[in-house]
A and B are shown apart, each in its own frame.
Chain A
Amino acid sequence: MKNNMTATKRAAFLGLATALSLLLSYVEVLMPPLYAAVPGIKLGLPNMAILYLLYSTDVRYAALVSLTRVAISSLLFGNVMSLSYSLAGAVLSLSVMWLLKKTKFFSEVGVSVAGGVTHNLGQVLVAVLLLDTPQIAYYMIVLTVTGTISGIFIGLCGAFLLKRLPHEKFMRF
């Protein structure tokens, strides 16, 4: 990728990817909560963009876009508290997805499921630390089920995108 992509093209592409992931964050903010009693149940739409980047480019670009998205979406739609939750989820899930991708043991769907579940895990861990309440960990039971289901959905969408949006072609311009 490095050889056939100049700095300008790379900046434009990553800017576009960041804008897309922010748009997906916004769509997710607009969606009503599915089950209000347990916070954190969501589709994880921005992960579709991150998953695409992870598979089509490099973990460095995926991390760059993910961190930028977290910072901007917390400024736009959240607060300082939501920044720490999002950051923990994003860092943990991207690390796990990257490592699992490298093992080549799972397809995009398995990687995405692991990403969804560990995103929730990161947020629950931060909540346990910030509130000093280990009982919050019980949420993980529900969140693992919902994270798995949304991970399957995002993984299937991501796999479809990777097939239909041939990154090798359109990134050479």
Chain B
Amino acid sequence: MNKQTTTVRRRHDILFIAVLLFLCAAAALGLYVFREDGDTVTVSIDGQLYAEYPLTEDRVVELISDGGFNRLIIEDGYAYVEEASCPDGICSSHRPIGHNGESIICLPNKVVIEIHRREQNQPDIIS
């Protein structure tokens, strides 16, 4: 491989990397701009819907699954996992979630906690 083709390929590399990073930035920005507050927390265990709670009421729930437990806290319009039996602790270190579509996933216990928006936006009648 001569020097010139190496330079050309490196230029292609840089272009490729720039496109990838740009796509990520655009996707992240899009998600941030178009996010909506959620109002419902759903919990599924092993792919099955397990429970549904309103995000507006504070509560503490022990989610018992085959893998162990996850303690779910709902507080001030946000949900988070305070403590869990899973070895990696990914769910309990996840930041609180409160926007539509956000989720906390515990792979070892197969627990998925998701935020939804059930109430649709009221149409703006004042023009």
Contact = CB atoms under 8 A, between A and B. Distances in A.
A51 to B, nearest CB: 14
A39 B90 contact: yes
Given A36-B90, A135-B103, A106 B24 contact: no
A110 B90 contact: no
Interface in A115-173: 117, 127, 131-133, 135-136, 138, 141-142, 144-145, 148, 152, 155
Tell me what chain A mostly uses at the interface: helix, strand, loop, or mixed. helix
B21 A145 contact: yes
A63 to B, nearest CB: 23
Contacts of B123: none
Tell me what chain B mostly uses at the interface: helix, strand, loop, or mixed. helix
B112 interface: yes
B87 to A, nearest CB: 11
A123 B25 CA distance: 21
Interface of B: 5-6, 9-10, 12-13, 16-17, 20-21, 23-24, 27-28, 31, 44, 47, 88-90, 93-95, 101, 103, 105, 107, 110, 112, 114
B103 A133 contact: yes
Contacts of A107: 6, 9-10, 12-13
A136 B47 CA distance: 13
A110 B27 contact: no
Contacts of A145: 21, 24
A92 interface: no
A50 interface: no
A62 interface: no
Contact of B24 (A113, A133, A136, A144): A144
A39 B107 contact: yes
